[in-house]
Structure 1
Amino acid sequence: MNTQYPHIQHHGAVQGVTGSCHQLWLTPQDSLLIDCGLFQGGESSGNGADAHNLAVEFDLTSVRALVATHVHIDHIGRIPWLLGAGYKGDIHCTEPSAMLMPTVLEDAFLVGIKRDKRLATRFIEMVQPRLQGHPYKTWVTLIEREDLVCRIRFQRAGHILGSAYVEFDISYPQQNRTRRIVFSGDLGAPHAPMLPAPKSPYKADVVVLESTYGNRLHENRRTRRARFQKVIEQALQDGGTVIIPAFSIGRTQELLYELEDIITSTRQKTWQNIPIILDAPLATRFTKLYRQLTPYWNAEALKRVTSGRQPLGFEQLLTVETHAQHQSMVNRLAQTRQPAIVITSSGMCNAGRVINYLKAMLNDPRHNVVFVGYQARGTPGSIIQQYGPQGGYVELDGERYDIKAGIYTLGGYSAHADQAGLIGFITNMRHWPEEVRLVHGDEDAKSTLAALLKARAVSAGKTLVVNVP
């Protein structure tokens, strides 16, 4: 192992975009974990862990604390396995994340370990006392000894409610040496609905940077929303259902926010009568929590609320709770010609209620599937996205389904920063880092972003090492 401290060991999000987990070694005996997320599709840790083997495959003896950047499942979904492996320390995150995390972890337990509500409740009762929610922009001391002091500070990342990038201030008083390391977590796109955009840190020595869209630029919000509206209107003319697979937290709330604005601002009869169906119990719970966390919304969203609008609870929004109601809704929409918009989970079509909609509707050209988020390779969503427009097929629960429904992709709805946002996160720093480590991206995204960062460093006369672990 590297004998220079601090140094970083990556246990996930190095061979793809999921399974984020990084170990920051402070001394040979002390380390911190940053995130501990689920793997999805065919992605793995390279050390034995993947979507089918989630047991923690590294030693936890040195781990003093877990720091969570945000509550998406690919960043915290392995926490049940972490506790099962013997981790007994605290979980540090922002105040909104501390409010949202129990719901995410309960679902991860029920889906990934055992569908036993009593056991899941006991697990959450174990987690709750360990959750340490902190305000943004405030230094928190994790370790304070004569030989080592480590403080962290959460800064807004603009990805989902409660998301943060984390600054680690590490001091070795006996050596008169300090280091500043920044973990980006997932950075949001500027002008995203509801959330303030992230601002670059003042300085860093090392930045661990996500690179999901390191090879792509998003369209701006105005054209993105216009295209979203056009795609929905075109799909609804077919007389069927528009299925939007969406993650329960973040994406779902952004879509509801945009749909409420379209309904409010357009006079078309189609939009005034169309039912917006939220068929995802977890997303419904998160939407209620989002409503409770309005102080963390951006100025535009707060202005809508104070004017009397309900961006996440408008009149045409119908929620489907029970499994019987879900099955009835699937059957009704599949068999009638009533246009509807259904937002359902999971976002990558690898689990959840979206599977039943796809089974019932993929074979019918009246229906349409609209992808608004990243599809990890190997997931059913990725296969439908890639092969659907060519008249291909997808396997769901071991059965083949021909794809005759319309397939659309709206990449501009990503909650991730695009190439320009990622580059700006580094180049807008007052004191550039010595090193950037690129994680959380496919190979092309990482290599493209690495080349551009190196070129920007040369043109700015900066010395910058860009590593791809």
Structure 2
Amino acid sequence: MNQHPYPRVQHHGAVNGVTGSCHQLWITPTDSLLIDCGLFQGAETSGAGAGQDQLAIEFPLDSVHALLLTHVHVDHVGRLPWLLAAGFDQAVHATDASALLLPAVLEDAFRVGVRPDAALASRYVAAVSALLQGHAYGQWVNLITRDDLTCRMRFQPAGHILGSAYAEIDIDYPPEQRSQRVVFSGDLGAAGAPLLEPPQPPERADLLILESTYGDRLHEDRATRRARLQQVLEQALADGGTVIVPAFSIGRTQELLYELEGIMHDNPEWQQIPVILDAPLAGRFTALYRELRQSWNAEGQARLAAGRRPLGFDQLLKVQTHAQHQRMLNRLVSTRQPAVVITGSGMCNAGRVVNYLKAMLGDVRHNVVFVGYQAKGTPGHAIQQYGPAGGYVELDGQRYTIRAGVHSLGGYSAHADQAGLIAFVRDIPVAPREVRLVHGDAAAKAELAAQLRADAKAHDRSPNVVIAD
């Protein structure tokens, strides 16, 4: 056990669930860092629990030297407006790719979740951009340099979405001749994901703050998930229906496009099926992914070298305006043309996907395919849970019976599964003094904790695994 009171971590989110990531690393009683500052979503936006239903920043900021962003999903960055409103004016550190993606994420989140005011959103984004510093992976950045304390950090690839990282923070206490490395995992990516390499564990971690989203389950392998996706497409082709894929604009959408391009490349007869990207923000991020293609993995590079366009193939149709969206929706409802629609939001709690669901859930010709985590309390979770039994879901206060097919493809998750999380810890050369689990439901954290302890014992290691509170 650590005999020193610092460093220690205080959690302001992602403790009792999987959203609202925000952690404060206390280095001394008067020096700290923030790691992420995200929105709560789904059932985590209400009810009992520390920090839930709280958008305001209710902790003092006078000790905070910097904010480190592991990636740009809104459950990790969405509370920045409230952070700035609370007076935060220190540096915001991210990877180079995240720094490129962040302004578009913040502008959209502000206009949807705060106020639909373009000018105000632009001023807010400009205020964040003035504080934002982008860094290459592996680049050490000095955060505190004093005679009694030094602190530096670097980002390492997390394989979750483009630009995602885990943060390594080195702290030296010269008077005590003591050093500590604290690692925040952020969200770790799944093995075998398209476009990005899986994360490699750190060379050292005295304290590891580890996500546990899928700590209680294993993903399908890539061949299995592709085969299942292909089966759904075959069903749609036979039924003359639409496959609705609720997907987040960053990461999941691009992986799906990549996989669909591969399926259609290998099955020329399916090239009659349009793939409709009805999500303007996702279109913007897909263009940025193409700009950042030098960051793709070897498989993605090989497709490009072969003259293929994994994120811009011929069957891909992009819907921009609301009028175009309405025309496309009416066309798909009134005809028997099979199609794949990728649209947001990923948990079906907002955005254009709600219109597709209202129009199509009651028709057996259509299918809904979930490829990501559905937080409790969201319509996506309700459809996933009750749809296979012919249940219903409430959308905008109205009940809709679910007759469409409902499928969940766990292999497309952008999060590491239980095996990936265990391997990440096991492959750290020296076992961490403490592994603290965050960002997961209670069952996922409990199961992962048990499996981490068992794996450590089997490999003659003894990290102290605790569940954050």
The verdict on a shared fold, with TM-score over 0.5 as the criterion, is yes
Corresponding residue for residue 148 of structure 2: 147
Instruction: Give 1:374-385 correspondences, 5 Å limit.
Output: 374-385=373-384
**Cα deviations by residue, 1:267-322 (Å, 9 ceiling, x for unpaired):** 3x2x1101100000110000000000011110110111121111001110000000
What is the CA distance between 1:49 and its match in structure 2? 3.9
Corresponding residue for residue 463 of structure 1: 462
What is the CA distance between 1:425 and its match in structure 2? 0.4
Judge conservation of contact 1:186–1:416 (CA < 8 Å) in 2: yes
What is the CA distance between 1:330 and its match in structure 2? 1.1
Judge conservation of contact 2:246–2:347 (CA < 8 Å) in 1: yes
Instruction: Give 1:384-423 correspondences, 5 Å limit.
Output: 384-423=383-422
Instruction: Give 1:61-460 correspondences, 5 Å limit.
Output: 61-267=62-268, 269=269, 271-460=270-459
What is the CA distance between 1:438 and its match in structure 2? 0.4
Deviates more, 1:243-252 or 1:362-371: 362-371
AA aligned to 2:130 is P
Matches of 2:142 and 2:319, distance apart in 1: 44
**Cα deviations by residue, 1:77-105 (Å, 9 ceiling, x for unpaired):** 11111111111111101000000000101
Matches of 2:49 and 2:450, distance apart in 1: 27
AA aligned to 1:419 is Q
What is the CA distance between 1:125 and its match in structure 2? 1.1
What is the CA distance between 1:461 and its match in structure 2? 2.2
Aligned-pair identity (%): 65
SS of the residue 2:163 aligns to: coil
Matches of 2:51 and 2:423, distance apart in 1: 33
Judge conservation of contact 1:12–1:44 (CA < 8 Å) in 2: no
Show structure 2 runs of 5+ residues with no match.
none
AA aligned to 1:87 is F
Judge conservation of contact 1:206–1:435 (CA < 8 Å) in 2: yes
**Cα deviations by residue, 1:18-48 (Å, 9 ceiling, x for unpaired):** 1111000011111100001111111159666
Matches of 1:420 and 1:328, distance apart in 2: 44
SS of the residue 1:333 aligns to: helix
Judge conservation of contact 1:40–1:376 (CA < 8 Å) in 2: yes
Aligned length: 465
SS of the residue 1:169 aligns to: strand
Judge conservation of contact 1:48–1:57 (CA < 8 Å) in 2: no
AA aligned to 2:272 is N
Matches of 1:460 and 1:312, distance apart in 2: 42
Matches of 2:374 and 2:5, distance apart in 1: 37
Matches of 2:410 and 2:49, distance apart in 1: 32
Matches of 1:331 and 1:428, distance apart in 2: 52
AA aligned to 1:144 is T
SS of the residue 2:42 aligns to: coil
**Cα deviations by residue, 1:374-415 (Å, 9 ceiling, x for unpaired):** 100010000000001111111111111111111111111101
Matches of 1:149 and 1:93, distance apart in 2: 20
Corresponding residue for residue 30 of structure 2: 29
Judge conservation of contact 1:236–1:242 (CA < 8 Å) in 2: no
AA aligned to 1:317 is L
What is the CA distance between 1:231 and its match in structure 2? 1.8
SS of the residue 1:42 aligns to: helix
What is the CA distance between 1:217 and its match in structure 2? 0.8
Judge conservation of contact 2:366–2:405 (CA < 8 Å) in 1: yes
Judge conservation of contact 2:16–2:49 (CA < 8 Å) in 1: no
TM-score using structure 2 length = 0.97
TM-score using structure 1 length = 0.97
SS of the residue 1:18 aligns to: coil
Deviates more, 1:55-64 or 1:370-379: 55-64
C-alpha change, 1:166 and 1:12, in structure 2 (3 Å) is same
Matches of 1:205 and 1:144, distance apart in 2: 21
AA aligned to 2:344 is S
Matches of 1:97 and 1:133, distance apart in 2: 7
What is the CA distance between 1:185 and its match in structure 2? 0.4
Matches of 1:97 and 1:214, distance apart in 2: 26
Corresponding residue for residue 12 of structure 2: 11
SS of the residue 1:463 aligns to: coil
AA aligned to 2:109 is A
SS of the residue 1:303 aligns to: helix
SS of the residue 2:84 aligns to: helix
Judge conservation of contact 2:236–2:339 (CA < 8 Å) in 1: no
SS of the residue 1:242 aligns to: strand
C-alpha change, 1:466 and 1:44, in structure 2 (3 Å) is farther
Judge conservation of contact 2:141–2:153 (CA < 8 Å) in 1: yes
What is the CA distance between 1:3 and its match in structure 2? 7.9
What is the CA distance between 1:203 and its match in structure 2? 1.1
Judge conservation of contact 1:106–1:124 (CA < 8 Å) in 2: yes
Large movers: runs of 4+ above 6 Å: none
AA aligned to 1:378 is G
